[in-house]
Each structure stands twice: as C-alpha cells, then as structure tokens.
Amino acid sequence: MSLFAIGDTHLSLGADKPMDIFKGWSDYVGRLEKNWRRVVEDDDTVVVAGDISWAMKLEDTYEDFKFLNSLPGQKIILKGNHDYWWTTRKKMEGFFEASGFDSIRILHNNAYLAGSVAVCGTRGWFFDCAEEEDEKVLNREVGRLKTSIDAARALGAEPVVFMHYPPISREQTCGELYDLLVRENIRRCYYGHLHDASCKWAFIGVSDGIDFSLISGDYLEFCPKLIEKY
C-alpha cells in the first residue's frame, strides 16, 4: 500500500471551463487518468490538495467526482481557492453518499491514518494579509491546521501536512502558518496552487527541518507523487 498526492486537478467535466487552452494542460484529464491508473492501486490512498473542480455548486461537481471516484484508491480531498462548490462537511458527505462516491473523504479539522503517517492539513492563505478580512481568514486557517495536526498526533503517527496555498516561497513565508509548522516539528509539507511560470518561485527543499514539495497537477505532469509506501 502507498500514499500519493496531487493538487490542482481543475476538473470541469460538468462545466464549460476547459484548461486545455493553457500551456502544459493539453488533454490533462486523459493524462491524469492514464498516469493515475498506472501508479495507484486499489488499496492505496491519494491526497488531492485543492482546486479539484471548477463547479460553482456542489450538485454541479457530480461528473468530476464521478470521475475521481472511478479511479483506484481512496481519495482524501481538501479545499483550494477555486473550490467555490465547497460547503459544510455534512452536506458534502451527504452528497457523496447519495451519489455512491464511496472512495472520497474530506480533510477538514481532522486527520487520516495512512500506514506510519497521518494525513493532515488545510487550505492555507496568502503571504501578505493587508486587509482585516484576510487576517481573519488566515487566523482561521492557522487554527484549522493546528486542529488537524493535533488530530494526526492523536492517531499516534507522524503528521504529514498537505496544503493548497504554499506556506513558503523562494522569497517569503506566510509567517503564521510557517511558524506553526516549525513549532509542531513537522518534517514534511506538500502544497499546490502554483502553475506554469509561477513554479519558479516555489520553494522546494528543506527549511528549518521541514521538507517542502510542490504537487500542482501540471508541475507533476498529471501523475500522482509517491509520498510513502507502507
């Protein structure tokens, strides 16, 4: 069994929002399916780190989650900045159950055991919070990350953090989130959000003992990244 991760699938199977017009995104759904089926087995787990579907409403995500559910493995999803359909956990779980999507689980103020590690994390937020409302959102995300890490530790396994927004770049950090990762002695953090030319600003490597990795779909050439075998 193995743990994989990928972010930014940007599916639009039920909406008119094709990503193929962007550099590197040609036939991305077909490539994602082919690569996923090549590397992921039924007893594996895949974290999908936000920007999952372009749908605006939960009911409009049906075709996108039908596609994800059809792929091998259990899927753990977290919110991205373009997941406008995201609503309460109760409503999403009810929708998935009613739709027969039995391989999809939600990461939100909780954690999941995957062998010797515990999957935890949150969406994250911008580096610079100049507006009061942004500060409120950031503080909420810090609280959610702490709650998720605590839940991971309660499972008795190493907390491995997954976020949508990067908590660090080559030039700056999101201080509140980054400092929490350091205080909590996190050793691995995976994030998405960055595409094309913006990937050059991604921090990939070790800082303060934390190994940071970029897992945006196009950066990974639409192939889930192996995180851990167990």
- pLDDT tens, 117-143? 999 999 999 877 667 787 899 999 999
- pLDDT tens, 146-205? 999 999 999 999 999 999 999 999 989 998 999 999 999 999 999 999 998 889 999 999
- Backbone phi and psi for residue 11, each to the nearest 5 degrees, phi listed first: -70, 145
Nearest CA to 34 out of 6, 8, 4, 71 is that of: 71
CA distances from residue 53 to 12, 65, 107, 206 in whole angstroms, order as listed: 6, 8, 16, 31
Q: Is the pTM of this model over 0.75?
A: yes
Could you give the domains of the chain?
A: 2-229 (3.60.21.10)
What per-residue confidence (pLDDT) applies to 155?
Answer: 97
Q: Average pLDDT in the 33-55 region?
A: 97
Mean of the per-residue pLDDT values for the chain?
95
What per-residue confidence (pLDDT) applies to 153?
Answer: 97
Q: What percent of the chain has pLDDT over 90?
A: 86
What per-residue confidence (pLDDT) applies to 23?
Answer: 80
- Backbone phi and psi for residue 149, each to the nearest 5 degrees, phi listed first: -65, -40
* DSSP tag of 49: E
Give 12's contacts (C-beta < 8 A, 6+ positions apart): 18, 19, 53, 54, 55, 64
